[in-house]
Each structure stands twice: as C-alpha cells, then as structure tokens.
A and B are shown apart, each in its own frame.
Chain A
Amino acid sequence: MELNNKSISELKKLYGQNSVKPSEVVQSCLDAISNKDNEIGAFLEVMPEDALRRARELEKESSEERALFGIPIAVKDNICTIDRHTTCASKILKGYKPPYNATVVERLLDAGAIIIGKTNMDEFAMGSSTENSAYQITRNPWNMEFAPGGSSGGSAAAVAAYMVPVALGSDTGGSIRQPASLCGVVGLKGTYGRVSRYGLVAFASSLDQIGPITRTVEDSAIVMNVISGRDTFDATTIPDKPGDLTVGLGRGVERLKIAVPGDLERWDIDEELKGILKDTVAKLKEAGANIEPVKFPDMEASIACYYVIANAEASSNLARYDGVKYAFRAEAESIGEMYERTRGEGFGDEVKRRILLGTYVLSAGYYDAYYNKAQQVRAMICSEFETIFSTYDLVMLPTVPGPSFRLGERIDNPIEMYLSDIFTTSANIAGIPALSVPAGFTRKGLPLGIQLMAGYTQEAKLLQGAEMLEKIYNFNKG
C-alpha cells in the first residue's frame, strides 16, 4: 500500500479502521521524499526525526477526535515553525529559527497533523516560478524541465509528486493558485482574514493569505476547516466563525449562477485551455448551472494596482532585515555601511527590484500618483466584484493563461513573469476567496487549471463548485 499516494480523506478512513499507523504514513512520505526530492527540490528542510517522534506520540491516542490525526503536512518556508529554520528562501534569513509557531502551525498541530518539512519558494514569496529561491530550484514533477510555478512552488510540487497529501502555501497575488494550476493540484486562497497571518512572514500585509494545496477538493475543505477562524493575534482576521466548509460538497451545481468573463478572447490564452473552458461551460450547464458572460473587473488595472500596493507594503515589511537583530549580517565599519552591505548581499535581485519600486511609489511627490491611485483602483475593483456577486454565486476563469514554462525561460523578463498573475491578482485585491482546480493536461503532458472565485466569505460555495469541476474533469484518481 503506497500510503504517500493517499489523500487526507482516504487516510482518515484508514486510521478510522485502525489499518495504518501514523508512523507508517510518515515513513511512506519520507521514503517518497528521499526517492524523488533530490531531483524535484521541493523541500528546503525535511524533519524526519521530529515527524516520526510525533507520529509515535500520536499513536498513543485515539484518532477519532482530531480532524487531521496523523496527516503529514509540508509547510512553506515563510511560515514560522518554532526552533526550525524559517528562511523565506532568502539568504538574509539564513539560519533563522523563530521562537514561536505561526497560528496556522499551532492549529495544525492541535488537529493532530505532523509537520514533515519546509518547502522551497520564491524569495519572500516574490515570483511566479520558485526560481527566485536563494537556495535551490524546484522542478515541475510532470516535467523536470519546467517550472512548478510560484511562489509556493515547493508546496505544489511536493503535493503533486505524492510526497505529502497536503502543503501550506501563501497567496499574495496568486502564489497558491498559480503553482497549483501548473502542478495539477488544488490550491485554495480564502477570503482575506479567513486564515490568521500571525507567523506568516509578511510580503504584502493587505493581500497575503495562507491556504492549503491538496490533491482533492475535499481535502482542501478539511484543512481549511482547521486553519480558518478568528485569531486574537491577527487583528485583520474575520470575527465570524466560518462554519463547516465541507457542507457544500456533493450538492452539485444545480441552480448555481456562474459568471464567465466576457472578454477572455482579449487574452492570449492557450488553445487547449480554451477548449477545456468551453467544454466545462457545457458540462456545468448540463449539471444545471446557470452560466452567463459578465463584464469582469479590468485585469490590467488589477495587476497594475497589485504591483503598486504589494511592493509598497513589501518595501516597509522587509525593512526589518537590516543585520542588527537576527540572521545574516555583513560586517562593516559603520551602521550605514552595514545596512547597505547586509541588504545588498542578503536580498536577491527580484526582492531588491520590488523594494525599490515600493519605496518609489510611497515617496513624497509620488504617493498620490501611485499608491493613492492604486487604492482608488482597489476600491473600484472591490465594488465591481460586489456587483457581480450580488447576482452570481461564482466566477469561472483560467487560473493562468497557459501551462508551465521552461525553467529559465522567463527569469530575465520580469514583466512577462508578472503577467502570469493576470487572472489571479484581482481576488487578492478584492479580498475574495478563489481556488484553482486541475482541469486536465496539454498534449505535451503539462497540467492546466481552472479558477473559481466566490463572494466575500463564501468559501463553502467555492468548494461546492470546485468539487463539481473535479467530477467533470474526473481527475481525482490518485
């Protein structure tokens, strides 16, 4: 029995029958990592001893109570794990071990999950290919010449390659959904404030959300149930209880109103993906959904707005890495020189580019033209989504315009790289939940994804629709 191939719901069943033990599941995942990860490079750190020790401890208790009993999970390296490296794949945090666990980590542990390692990412979550890691490249498990996407590329690759059933990612402009799409797995970003950011190393505070990357929609709902909810350590979490997010599963899409952006032809979308989208619309109609084209918020405005706000916030959030307090310090004669050398040597090019852009848009004389304007655009996009969701339950569109790209192909062309976020950023800008479902493959065997968005706090509906897509694509075979 290849336990590493099992989904969370399958493992729950096996635990319920007492036919497997957590240590067997963990060992199976660890074996898969040893076999595959040398080539794929999904993990920055694997914690075999910790994971096995915890698995054996869990074996002393009953599996009934806890939602993620004995479930191995990988955690993106920008999420704090106490006394374990948390580097954001940056040289500037090399060797850094936080003295506390992120709230999500605490909740996973309380639910009985077993943390098995930390996954690679674009440095500080800035990028769409995981090539911006200061430590290593991650390869797409479906084709080793291709990028896994990013920034949660390590998490998506680890799940896609059956090294773990679930990994946490973070999504600021598409960093969960885009790699999920490129690796053929399910990636969910909840409503802004649904999941606590306490312990998520900040990239852009008003956009960042942690979410699960899984192989099935049901698993996504199970994990989201555990990590969602108000946190007194994060003032921006939503006070209301989210409710059970699995409630909509199995309900189908009958009478659901689904909007599809009317102007998708404007975009250079992969032909095979267009075909899938068309076919999906037909099948959803058959299943009883009501599908109509709508005017979607201007995606170019959204992405421009995104890069102003995200970089502005990043320039401030990343100011603390100065060599004074922890991790990397370049020795120098004066404090100014230490700052310059520490940051000059500690940050990679993409991070520096964004800090510069962000500093610029907040500077005296430019603030109104950029940051303020972006906030106005943001308010406009929010109200446009509000209008859409006053009529429709879901919006359906591609996650990414096409399949993955070759490693190295876009790394020197930041604008092209930024445009892979074209369909994802608007959900972060508006703070609404969105997810990517695997929709099939190109003829060359690269995964394609379809994205759903739902109104503010409507995760249950989002997962309900996603499960229907999953059935349509009949991808859920393990």
Chain B
Amino acid sequence: MNNSSYETVIGLEVHAQLLTETKIFCSCKPEYGADPNTRICPVCMGLPGALPVLNRESVTMAIMMGLALRCDIAAVSEFSRKNYFYPDCPKNYQISMYDKPLCKNGFVEIETDNGPRNIRIERIHLEDDAGKMSHETGKDSLVDFNRCGVPLIEIVSRPDIRTGLEAVKYLVRVQQILRYLGICDGNLEEGSMRCDVNISLRPAGSTELGTKTEIKNLNSFKAIEKGVEFEVERQRRVLEEGGSIEQVTNLWDADSGRLVMMRSKEEANDYRYFPEPDLLPLEVDGEWIDGVRDMIPELPLEKERRFREEYMLSNYDSGVLCAEKGIADYFEIVAESTGLAKKSANWVMREIMRALKNLGCAIETFPVEPEKLAGLIALVEDGIISGSAGQDVFAEMIKSGADPKEVVKKLGLEQISDSSELENMVDSIIAAHPEEGERYREGKKKLLGFFVGQVMRESRGKANPELARNILIKKLGS
C-alpha cells in the first residue's frame, strides 16, 4: 500500500485563557507567575458553601470569538458540571458547557496548497480552568490553585484538517484572531493557549470516520506538527499491518519526541454531565450581541485582503505584516505618512522585525515610533542620506529614540549632493587612478562601479551615489 491510500482526519480542541479582569465565577484577579495559592478565594477554591456567579466580561469575550469565527450565538446556553476526580480541580467537577454551548457552527479560513479552505467550527464554549500540579520524585506532589477559575473558551473544530501543517496553519489563524480581539495572549509555552488533537485515518475516498486517538500536552507549533506526524505514521503502520486502532489518549513528550500513553478507552472518564444548578441558564439578547459586534476590530484575513488591494502588496508581504495587529498598525502609519507602501513594508519586515527580535520586545514598546521611521525613509528616498547611512541612523534611533533628522545632523551623515564638491572629489580620484581610467575608456565600462566605490569611500558614504555616477561618466569620457 502506498501513502495515498489513507486519508488523515484531524480535529482540534483549543483552550484559550481569557484576559478578563477577574476570574469567571469570582472576583479574584488572575496573575501569571504569582506566588502559589495567593490568587484564590472560597469560590474558586470550591470551599464548602461557596457559589459561582458568572462574570459577564467572560461571556462578552466568548461572544467576540464566536462572531469572529462566524458562529451562531445561542440565545440561551447552559453551564453543566463535568465530574471527575483530580487534585488540581478543587470541586472535583469543572463548570463547563455541554449540550447547550454559547457558540455553534462557524469556520476558520486557512491557506492550503490547493487554495483557501474553511475549517468548520463545531462549537465554542466557556468553562473554568483547573489549578496546576507539580511533582518531584520522592516528594509530595504540590498543587497551585491560582489558575483555578480563570475563564477558558474551548474552540472545537470539525474533523476537517488533513495534515499536521494544516493543523498548524489553523492554530496560527486562531491564535492571530484571539490576539487581534485582545481576549487571549495566545501563549502556547505558558499555556494560555492549549491544544488537544484528535487523529484518525480512513481509506481514501471513505466518508466514515476511523477510530481516533487524542494527543494532549502539545505546547508549541513544532510539537503539534511533530506529534501529528508521529501519530499519523504510527496509525498508518498499524493499519497497514492489518491491525486496528485503539481509542487512547496520549501525551506528547517534547524531550524525547515521542507519545506516551495517558489512558485507554477503558480508563476513560464518565463525566456524568448535568446542568449546573448553581447558575441560571445564560441568556444573550440581540443588543448584547450587537454591542460585542461593534467591539470587533478588522480581523487578519480582511486586513491582508485590504493590504493587497490598497497597498498593492504581495500575498506574502501582507501575510507577514498582518500576523500581528500591532505590526500591521505600525506599517500602516509608516505607509500612510511616506506614501511608499512597498518601501515601508520592506523596512518593517526587515529592519523592524529584526530589531524587535534582537531587543526581545513587542512592537507596542518599540523605541522608534512609526512616524519617526517614516521620517527616516523620507530622508533616504529624498537623497538626503544614503541607504547605508540610513541603517546607521536607524541603529542610533533604536538606542536613543531620537528624531531621524537630529541623528543625521549629530552623526554628520547628510549626503553630499552638491555637484561642485563632488566634481572636485571625482577629479582627484580620476587623477589618482590613471590606469583604470585608461582601461575604462578602452571599453571596460564595468570599472565605473570601481570609481563610484572610490567616491563613496572618499566621502565616507556621504556622496549621493546617483550624482557621483553621472559626474564620473561625464569626466571619464569615452
């Protein structure tokens, strides 16, 4: 059997922590990295007698995501209890949504080799997060309950994804949208965005689903791609050898690059869902939904489309620029004030992104404001300074945050565009290189570059190269 005889079927469950002021059912303020068990109260600790009260902001954020992914928002949804015992879950049940989720039937558009494709969204629902366990061999296990009650949305896709790469593309898109909406920081490593993958194979052309396995603990895009590839290969081998797939849940071990079995179907929990009696059904009216719709900014896909049309940028450029809303906004200010979209795009994609990476900072705190970068680009384009001097000025601007014109003055980098000054310089250079001049006149026209280089060196990069070139051609003769 060859590889094409099986089709891979992947569905993803994404958990995203919402950036609400307070937790979903109490007034504790979550804070990543706070001392253990300092962000807790009777409610999120599930102390005897404590009751949950729903945080409206978490619902608003969940609706935002629902609208962004083109879901239907339920007029009435319902919280249910998902019962299971685990020490990080203080009530030993999670308050989640079961058969009446808040959002249903949406989609996320991704680019594939065969063009754009919609990955359907089955549902988005709200739930509370659990605490965190830490284990040390030979010692007691510890639980930090700070994370308990942090609001999560779970975004469940339909099994529409076919490869590990597509899974990553889908997740990148979901992460972008969460960040555009400002409802989740989408950090896989810190766990503010978490992903479980369901995988099955089926004979190509079949419409029935095969037995699926689940992978948890995938905390990077690389892990997701690798984990999926690993599991697809494993299932393919089992099926090709005539075996059958067992329904299991695996954990991805990033260190060894392997899957570790967590539980089999027999060990699967019966969660005994039933409606949460401590909360009323959640009613969302049209007014609420309209209010949320007004809060939704232009989303990455629309922005990319607009950048292509408005700024005549390529698919690639608009994709890179729109990956982060802050970068896209930065670019737009630069492009608007220079009127040079492609040049601005190049500066942002090369210099700015490299500098951000080196500084390890976000665009929001980058020392060079977009208006100042626009000023720098204008200086280069107007020939006030050379392109290479522009790099030096940029480096100085990052250090001091100063205005580009001041930096140019301070460093004495104004380009020499005065032709009499340049003519004198050219005369002495031609006089110093008679041999090269001779060969040039004999037809070795490539030597023009040598002379331009000499002028640039002599002027310490300040000569306007275009002007120097014209003077050289005139003076060298033919």
Residues of A within 8 A of B (CB): 78-80, 86, 88, 93, 96, 98-100, 102, 197-202, 204-206, 232-236, 312-313, 315-316, 319-320, 322, 324-326, 335, 339, 359, 362-364, 367, 371
Contacts and interface: CB of A to CB of B under 8 A. Distances in A.
Interface stretch (B120-128, B277-285, B370-378): B277-285
A312 B274 contact: yes
Given A98-B49, A324-B143, A363-B272, A236 B280 contact: yes
Interface stretch (B39-47, B157-165, B168-176, B392-400): B39-47
B83 A362 contact: yes
A206 B277 CA distance: 5
B48 A96 contact: yes
B473 interface: no
Contacts of A202: 48-49, 278
Interface stretch (B90-98, B211-219, B303-311): B90-98
A339 B89 CA distance: 13
Nearest to B53: A235
A205 B277 CA distance: 6
Given A99-B42, A236-B278, A320 B48 contact: yes
B401 interface: no
B50 interface: yes
Contacts of A362: 83, 272-274
Interface string B259-272: 00000000000101
Interface of B: 42, 45-54, 81, 83, 85, 87, 90-93, 141, 143, 270, 272-274, 277-280
16 contacts: A96-B48, A98-B48, A197-B49, A198-B49, A198-B50, A200-B49, A201-B49, A205-B277, A233-B53, A236-B277, A324-B143, A326-B47, A339-B85, A362-B272, A364-B270, A367-B274
Given A99-B47, A198-B49, A320-B90, A235 B280 contact: yes
A172 to B, nearest CB: 12
A86 B48 contact: yes
Contacts of B92: 319-320, 322
Nearest to B92: A319
Nearest to B85: A339
A406 B49 CA distance: 32
Contacts of A371: 274
A325 B145 CA distance: 10
B478 to A, nearest CB: 91
B277 A320 contact: no
Interface of A is mostly: loop
Contacts of A335: 87, 141
A364 B265 CA distance: 14
Contacts of A99: 42, 47
The residue among B48, B52, B90 with the most chain A CB atoms within 10 A of its own CB is B48
B53 A325 contact: no
A93 B81 CA distance: 23
Contacts of B141: 335
B115 to A, nearest CB: 42
B274 A325 contact: no
Given A232-B53, A322-B85, A324-B87, A316 B274 contact: yes
Contacts of B143: 324
A441 to B, nearest CB: 37
A455 to B, nearest CB: 21
Contacts of B273: 362
A384 to B, nearest CB: 21
Contact of A235 (B48, B51, B87, B93): B51
A233 B272 contact: no
A316 B83 contact: yes
A326 B280 CA distance: 29
The residue among B45, B49, B141, B280 with the most chain A CB atoms within 10 A of its own CB is B49
Contacts of A319: 83, 85, 91-93
Q: Ordered nearest first, which 10 A-B pairs have the shortest CB separation?
A: A319-B92, A362-B272, A205-B277, A206-B277, A201-B48, A199-B49, A80-B49, A201-B49, A364-B270, A324-B87
B277 A93 contact: no
A359 B273 CA distance: 11
Contacts of A324: 87, 90, 143
The residue among A88, A199, A319, A322 with the most chain B CB atoms within 10 A of its own CB is A319
Contacts of A235: 51-54, 278-280
A96 B429 CA distance: 94
Nearest to A322: B92
Nearest to B143: A324
Nearest to B93: A316
Given A98-B47, A326-B47, 9 more contacts: A79-B49, A80-B49, A88-B48, A98-B48, A235-B53, A325-B45, A335-B87, A335-B141, A371-B274
Contacts of A326: 47
A144 B87 CA distance: 44
Contact of A363 (B46, B81, B93, B270): B270
A99 B54 CA distance: 22
B259 to A, nearest CB: 24
A201 B46 CA distance: 11
Contact of B51 (A78, A198, A325): A198
A316 B81 contact: yes
B51 A234 contact: yes
